[in-house]
Amino acid sequence: MTAKRSPIKRRRASANTTRTRRKARVGGGQPPSDILARAVELANRGDLNGALAAAQTVLNIYPNHWQALNFMGAILWHLGRRAESVAAIEKSIASAPSNEIDVRFGLVDQLLLAISKGGFNPDKAIGIMFDLIKQHKPEARFLARFTNVVKDFGRLDEALKLANMAVSAYPENPTLHRNKASVLMRMGWDDRAVAAYALSIMPYQPNTREAAKASSKEIRSHYAGLAASYDDNALHQSFSDRMAKFIVELTGPALTKRVLDAGCGTGLLGTCLKVARLVGIDRSPDMLAKARIKNIYAELVEGDLVEAMAARTDSFDIVASVSVLCHIADLAPFFRETARILVPGGHLFFSVDPAPDSMDIGVTEPGEYAHSRVYLRRLASECDFTEVAITVMEHRATPGFWCAFQRT
């Protein structure tokens, strides 16, 4: 996933373009580059109308000055004049030097983002994008962004076309395979989505215990940074909503059930369930602090998930784990401890990133893992579980296995 960016920003010309512009003068006065520098200074001070007037001074003499057009698009956007902003960006694309390939793709990227944020019809922008792609091969980063934004427009056939272009041009790039998997999921082609995702992962090779400890430290540090705003992320909320519905659909209301939230984080799953007793385990003290505020857990335990489970002497009707087991390579200890603390007939629910059946465990990122259906079923059988469901649903914006097993 990419960080949020302003839909429009000023692009620099190449050194050659800049030198050419500096030779020119606006009405016999300052070079356009100097006026635009002044416009940027005005904008940074909050004088947007002054900045707009400065950019217009350049355009009065050079109506196709792509940098001035692009800058004007940015200012118009921030002034709330979004349709005019989009028109200015479109004109800047047409005016940009034909040999400045990355500049032109960057401007198209801005245009698509502006169209998306402004809620405009994307037909023209998508046409401009494909016309440029016919002329030049984009960098992988542009294809990744184009695929995602066109998917978000709901233009799935065109998004799939882009995704196929991307993986064909850059077959070793895992992000592009995951983007394709995401598009296929949105189209309802679950098995094809899992197959596309499989091309983004590598088989797992067991690491040393020291490396595992380092990974644990990195996870704690990662979630410490996320804790404050974790609940504000719609994707995080969707994980918990989906798991709660999954549990209720397969077991009915959990009003009388004792539930262990394995990797509870900030307690989002707990807010979606009404149960008799709720216990949470998580290794992040920052996430647990957020969960504690919700006042819905009878007990919250800080520590390694499997070690904390091994220390328990009580029993549960349900163990649930949402988007947590991707941080654990070998799930055998987790299955064994779950089988020990579940009552006969109790249920285990969890979600994982999907590995192909040709491997047990795959590596998706450093310290993150995927697991195959063959592997999960083997562990379940070894620990006296019967399979209730392994369903493909969206997981961390890509396909995942949502699993339910019952203790015999």
Walk along the chain (408 residues) and give the pLDDT tens digit of each residue: 444 444 444 444 443 444 444 445 554 467 899 999 999 999 999 999 999 999 999 999 999 999 999 999 999 999 999 999 999 999 999 999 999 999 999 999 999 999 999 999 999 999 999 999 999 999 999 999 999 999 999 999 999 999 999 999 999 999 999 999 999 999 999 999 999 999 999 999 887 454 555 566 677 677 777 787 888 888 889 999 999 999 999 999 878 999 999 999 999 999 999 999 999 999 999 999 999 999 999 999 999 999 999 999 999 999 999 999 999 999 999 999 999 999 999 999 999 999 999 999 999 998 899 999 999 999 999 999 999 999 999 998 899 999 999 999
CATH class of the domain comprising 15-198: mainly alpha
- What's this model's pTM, rounded to 2 decimal places? 0.85
Residue ranges matching CATH 3.40.50.150 in the chain: 209-407
Q: Say what the pLDDT of residue 210 is.
A: 44
Q: Say what the pLDDT of residue 97 is.
A: 94
Residue with the two structure tokens 């037909």: 123
Amino acid identity of 221?
S
Q: Say what the pLDDT of residue 406 is.
A: 98
In the chain, the N- to C-terminal Cα span, in Å, equals: 40
Locate 22 and state its tokens: 């500096």
Residue ranges matching CATH 1.25.40.10 in the chain: 15-198
**Which CATH number is 209-407 given?**
3.40.50.150
Q: Say what the pLDDT of residue 5 is.
A: 47
Q: Say what the pLDDT of residue 231 is.
A: 86
Q: Say what the pLDDT of residue 103 is.
A: 95
Contacts of 185 (CB under 8 A, 6+ apart): 193, 392, 394, 398, 399
Q: Say what the pLDDT of residue 44 is.
A: 96
Per-residue three-class SS string for the chain: CCCCCCCCCCCCCCHHHHHHHHHCCCCCCCCHHHHHHHHHHHHHCCCHHHHHHHHHHHHHHCCCCHHHHHHHHHHHHHCCCHHHHHHHHHHHHHHCCCCCHHHHHHHHHHHHHHHHHHCCCCHHHHHHHHHHHHHCCCCHHHHHHHHHHHHHCCCHHHHHHHHHHHHHHCCCCHHHHHHHHHHHHHCCCHHHHHHHHHCCCEECCCCCHHHHHHHHHHHHHHHHHHHHHHHHCHHHHHHHHHHHHHHHHHHCCCCCCEEEEECCCCCHHHHCCCCCEEEEEECCHHHHHHHHHHCCCCEEEECCHHHHHHCCCCCEEEEEECCCHHHCCCCHHHHHHHHHHEEEEEEEEEEEEEECCCCCEEEEECCEEEEEHHHHHHHHHHCCEEEEEEEEEEECCEEEEEEEEEEC
